[in-house]
Amino acid sequence: MSLNSILASSLRWSSRATTVAEADALLAKLWASSEARRFLVSDSPTDATAAAPIAVRTGVMNLAVVANGEERAAHAASILATLPRNPSRTLFIVPRDPEGPATFAARLEVFCAVTPRGDGTSACTELLWIDVGGPAAHHLASIVPPLSLHDLPTLLWWDAPINASESDVRQLLRGVDRVIIDGATQPSDGLATVRALFAAAEGAGVAVTDFALLRQGRWRDAIATMFDEESAAPFLAAITTISIDYSAGKGSSASVNVVRPAYHVAWLASRLNATVQTPLQVDEGDGWRAELRDASRHAIAVELRPVDSVLGAGTTIAVRIAADRRGDHFDLEVRADSTSTRAIAKVNGAVVHERTFQAPRWTEAALLSESLEFGEIDPLSPAIIRTMSALIG
Amino acid sequence: MEGHATIRDLRLGRKTRKPGAKRGAKNPLRAGLRIERVPDPHVVVLFGATGDLAHRKVVPALFHLWVGNLLPERFALVCFGRRPFSDQEIRSALRASLDKHARITPVDEERWAAFASRITYHQGGFDEPEAYASLSKRLDAIDAESGTGGNRLYYLATPASSFPEIVRGLGAAGLDHEKAEGGWRRIVIEKPFGRDLETAVKLNREVGKVFRESQVYRIDHYLGKETVRNILIFRFGNLIFEPIWHRRYIDHVQITVAESIGVEGRGAFYEETGALRDILQNHLLQLLTLVAMEPPANLEAEALRDEKVKVLRAIRPIPVEKVDESVVRGQYGPGWVGATETPGYRSEPSVDPASETETFVAARLEIDDWRWAGVPFYLRAGKRLPKRATEIAIQFKDVPQRLFPTIGEEPEPNLLVIRIQPDEGILMRFAAKVPGLGIDVRPVNMDFAYGSAFTVESPDAYETLILDALLGDASLFTRADEVEAAWRIVDPIIDAWITGGEPDLPNYTSGTWGPEAADELLTREGRRWRRL
């Protein structure tokens, strides 16, 4: 049941609250008895009936969205609307005017749509639009937990620059199961911000889902598949260089966010049991350098190189992996466009394998859908994030 | 020494892998990726491409895999059929079918254009050797032009009667040979796998003359359904159910496959098949094996199928002379289904007016092993029943002593229902106190529905199974000995019906739950079918 279908649904209810307790009580009352659900109003006059409708709240998850302004909140809602199904309760929180008086205003909405089970039951989802101002904007940890449904996982989508050193953010992390960010949109090179978040999340025992890491999934599929080939597989244990080209964008290279290219290195290192010998450092020329040691303590040189491109700053342009084994030299180069990835493997300069994979660039909706549905069972992220922290240094 | 790898060859990785070995199994970069593998570049050769199954299921499934980026860029679909079609005509026909049968609509025209450009038509009769010779040349040309690497999946979406001649044709043209330098060859065969044990053994033998068992994928689409696959997760991914999954706690099991539709223009097919062969021999027995099997050692295809075969072999055979006591057949007469008047089976097009084909079957089976001894499994399947519903109901025994007073009916014992369609999910029924001052007990439901717990849609069963076949994973496909073991259970029933007297058919009205004798199968043991 998508939000689009829900918004065109047969049953709906709305109200307003000026305190957290009032919002919680209004919603609790709605679900406390079938009598109260008479207040769910049918859009269709022909559906109007004296009997209380059979309506149940979905049992999926809580989602708290911290948005940088109303426009971003509306944007987040529009992305949610494209997903196949929805969280049980979504809080759209817009913190504003932290220097002004403490304010709290919530618009509460419930939308229901008839389920396909054929017994007339409607499944409902709740949307809470929350404006919070003044000192309360610095205490989101006092808002999210009391407005979250019991016994359902709570996800926090921080759709804004995040400062994990703030006490409120650290407190908020303690009350959720997973935090979703986009490392690629964090200020400056992005590395310090994500490192601070990783540390705070680890302290709170919270899983992190980073859109920037998910976006690289199509690259990972292509690289992994190339090493399935028997001509390439032996070189996996003999890698000497990992080199990532990324778009320099239009600004100065120092301000380019390099979280995405760095994730490629973190993934490879974590999968190969490599350790960080020298963390990422700005190269004297341009770009970044680091050094890894593989499981056999052999050095692997890492370079992130900015290149001219029309693509957005920080976008991965090419991933190159070189290896030497028993006198043979191996090169793998992977590139991508909007719809596919293309990989070419060479041994001693001769092409031994070439594949093109259908792999379109991820949309925001796909990233969010992936984060909501599969993030909790993603076995990759924790190891990659640990390695990424070491790589950032 | 062609075909034999030396130690040195193997050590240096210079020899191709053993056919069937999972490539990339030790690739550490594979771990944790969402998509385990995109299949190798390949060609699908679809026999019966102008038929109903190809248009309704196979091609929509391939297209959805393409849209989901689960097929490689180097992919080709060769449609093989008797009728004269140009490449453009078959593409137009398949495109028109997608409007009716695609899971995701509207069809993405850009993706369709890319998919359609990979479709070609190859005309030929299934019994014409020259058609296979020209097919072989065509496939070699596609490999050379498109880089499909000699990997081929032959999909037999044809009537079962054509299977042997297609397999022979492929073998005679050498299209089954897996080459040392790479290039797998697999064949997908649709049910029915024979009409009885004898024909199943014969078919397996015919297929086995050309293809190794590891190349053969016998498809029963029920095994690709999300909820069916979830039975394994439910049973072996949770601790709390396994201890009570036992004759000590379970009274009986009911498995139902109910359809509200009739034969829908497939009268000729159904006349030769009937509910016993069409549903019980495969779908119902497959569901039974998943409920009754012991935990497999791992999730490899052979380990899973070994356990399923053990269950089938442990089912107590019904002697021909006792079939009437354990099996009920029925045929629908005219009636009303969903406020629509419907004809009886014998009045359906292409059906013999004196037909003895069963449109309903119910059976009582027992499994002779330590876990299930004494627990009856009631199976039923039928057409023109009041509603479409497929489910497995595990009925638990009553509590040994009732402590609580009840008003009205006695509270029912615990029940676990695995709903397969529609509204896939799992329901657990247990007793709860009615709010109030007294101690009244009433059964309540804990109900898990896929639709409200996950934010992704389930793929169609054909998508799941075709992708598995392309990846070389046979876990959800039926092995030859499994098919034969299932026929050994069904054969005495067929014999009894053939040698018995003229049945009293039709014996149930369309829109009802089958013949009264089916109810008696349970009521004489103090049980009843679940109301669905």
Q: Which chain B residues contact residue A229 at CB under 8 A? A: 23
User: At B80, is the secondary structure helix, strand, or coil?
Assistant: strand
Contact of A207 with chain B, judged by CB distance below 8 Å, is answered with no
Contact assignment for B453 to A271 by CB distance below 8 Å: no
Q: What is the pLDDT of residues A48-105, one digit of tens each?
A: 455 556 777 777 789 999 998 999 999 999 988 877 667 889 999 999 887 888 889 9
Q: Tell me, what's the ipTM?
A: 0.78
Chain B residues lying within 8 Å of A271, measured CB to CB: 28-29, 31
| pLDDT above 80 for B501 | yes
Residues in chain B with CB shorter than 8 Å from the CB of A272 are 28
How near does any CA of chain A get to the CA of B441, in Å? 20
The pLDDT of residue B12: 45
The two beta strands, A350-358 and A299-307, are unpaired
Comparison of pLDDT for A200 and A35, the residue scoring more: A200
Mean pLDDT of A240-250: 93
- What integer is the mean pLDDT of A318-332? 96
Distance from CA of A380 to the nearest CA of B (A): 6
Say if the Cβ atoms of A380 and B33 lie within 8 Å: yes
Asked if the Cβ–Cβ distance from B73 to A84 is below 8 Å, we say no
Which residue of chain B is at minimal alpha-carbon distance from A341? B73
Contacts of B449 in chain A (CB under 8 A): 115, 117
Which of B455, B458, B470 would best serve as a mutation to test chain A binding (most A beta carbons within 10 A)? Answer: B455
Contacts with B455 from chain A: Cβ below 8 Å: 60, 83-86, 369, 372-373
Going by pLDDT thresholds of 50, 70 and 90, the confidence category of residue B14 is very low
The 3-state DSSP class for residue B247 equals coil
pLDDT at B206: 93
Q: Specify the amino acid at residue B51.
A: G
Distance of CA A55 to the CA centre of its chain: 31
In this structure, chain A runs to a length of 393
Nearest to A112 by CA among A60, A151, A55, A68: A55
Read off the pLDDT of residues A95-150 as tens digits, 9 standing for 90 and up. 988 788 888 999 999 888 776 656 667 778 899 999 999 888 888 988 998 899 88
- The closest of A185, A169, A100 to A136, measured between CA atoms, is A100
> How many other β-carbons are positioned within 10 Å of the β-carbon of residue A247?
20
Question: What pLDDT shows up at residue A82?
Answer: 79
pLDDT band of residue B15 (cuts 50, 70, 90) is: very low
Cβ of B456 within 8 Å of Cβ of A369? The answer is yes
Among B27, B38, B455, select the one facing A84 at the smallest CB separation: B455
Q: A183 vs A168, A194, A364, B29, B128, CA distance in Å?
A: 20, 6, 14, 23, 61
Distance from the Cα of B143 to chain A's closest Cα (Å) equals 14
Task: State mean pLDDT over B363-389.
Answer: 95
Average pLDDT for chain B: 88
CB nearest to A59's CB, from B72, B73, B453: B453
Cβ–Cβ gap B72/A227 under 8 Å:
no
Residue keyed to tokens 């940890």: A141
Q: Is the Cβ pair A272, B28 closer than 8 Å?
A: yes
Q: How far apart are CA B262 and CA B275, in angstroms?
A: 11
Nearest CA in chain A to B424: A117
| Greater model confidence, A146 or A245 | A245
> CA angle A264-A267-A273, nearest 5°?
135
Residue B2 has pLDDT above 70, yes or no: no
Asked if B444 reaches chain A (Cβ–Cβ under 8 Å), the answer is no
CA distance B190 to B57: 12
- Going by pLDDT thresholds of 50, 70 and 90, the confidence category of residue B161 is confident
Do B452 and A116 make contact, defined as CB atoms within 8 angstroms? no
Establish if A361 touches chain B: CB-CB under 8 angstroms: no
pLDDT at A314: 94
Residues of B acting as catalytic residues: 283
Contact B73 A340 (CB under 8 A): yes
Question: Is beta strand B250-258 parallel, antiparallel or unpaired with respect to B376-382?
Answer: parallel
Cβ-Cβ contacts under 8 Å, B34 against chain A: 217, 370, 374
Query: First CA to last CA across chain A, in angstroms?
Result: 44
CA distance A225 to A231: 12
CA distance to A129, B343, B349, B389, per residue, from B383 (Å): 50, 12, 16, 11
Locate the chain B residue with the closest alpha carbon to A361: B69
**C-alpha to C-alpha distance for A324 and B38, rounded to whole angstroms:** 27
How far is B220 from B228, CA to CA, in rounded Å?
12
* Residue A386 sits at the chain B interface (C-beta within 8 Å): no
Mean pLDDT of chain A: 86
Q: Report the half-sphere exposure of A284 (CA within 13 A, side-chain side).
A: 0
| Chain A contact set for B74 (CB, 8 A) | 355-356
Measured CA to CA, the distance from residue A92 to residue B287 in angstroms comes to: 45
With contacts defined as CB-CB under 8 Å, which chain B residues touch A370?
A: 34
List residues bridging with B45 in a β-sheet. Answer: B78, B154
* Interface touch A358/B72, C-beta < 8 Å: yes
First and final CA of chain B: distance in angstroms? 63
Among residues 51-70 of chain A, which lie with CB inside 8 Å of chain B? Answer: 56, 58-60
Which of B530, B528, B529, B520 lies closest to B324 in space, CA to CA?
A: B520
Q: Does A234 touch chain B (CB under 8 A)?
A: yes
Q: Name which of B237-246, B256-265, B368-377, B426-435 the model is least confident about.
A: B426-435
* Residue pLDDT, tens place only, B203-232: 999 999 999 999 999 998 888 888 788 899
